[in-house]
Structure 1
Amino acid sequence: MKVSHQWLQPRYHLYYENPQTLDIIKYEKLVFSCLFYQPEKWIEFRSAICAYLTKRKSPMSLIKTLSALFINKPYLIPGISKLMPKGCRIRSIKGNTFVFFPGVSNPSVLLKVSNVYIINIF
């Protein structure tokens, strides 16, 4: 199966407007290697990231996509966490996935979707 980069072509002009786009390209191969056996999930993940970066989707919709990917698959987290928007962090602790979004001064659980916790921090 070939990796297609065509989905990135129209976004080249956004590089200077949104440096996070570069992160998607930089770590694409790393994350793709994690999801290679499930290409449909890889496409779903890329779509969710692009929608989030272009402000067409909320962080919560991105988290719902991530939750579907991370259930019982903590080994995917190191690769995918590099693709998260700046300031966001993902950790797996005892089978639960914790997603840290920047926002408030004290950490708090905002939402739990399946085994994924969305937490505002710093």
Structure 2
Amino acid sequence: MNAIYTILLLICSNVFMTFAWYGHLKLQQTGVSSSWPLIGVIGFCWAIAFFEYCCQVPANRIGFVDNGGPFTLIQLKVIQEVISLIVFALIANVMFQGQGLHWNHLAAFICLIAAVYFVFMK
């Protein structure tokens, strides 16, 4: 069960992270934040990133093997990176419609899946 909680929290964390890191670009495109000073954009992004940390920290604590979870530190990091790229690809394709996925992006995802396989090998 800890594995499921960890993965769900990592997905939530990465949704917030993607909006914090890249959402302001969409706000700028639509004109919402184009007049904001940079410090205002940074503050806005940090406010969103707070929720990222509210999910990321518990995910790592629940999932880490030394806390009774099923994952080593390296496994947690690889899982987080794969989830991060999948969430980013989905959100980027919805928010920034001209940023399509190409064959080389698919090849990179296959390499990431291979990385997950190798990290979990005994």
Higher RCO (CA < 8 A, seq sep 6+): 2
Structure with the bigger percentage of helix: 2
Larger radius of gyration: 2
| Structure 1 length-normalised TM | 0.27
| Structure 2 length-normalised TM | 0.27
Structure with the bigger percentage of strand: 1
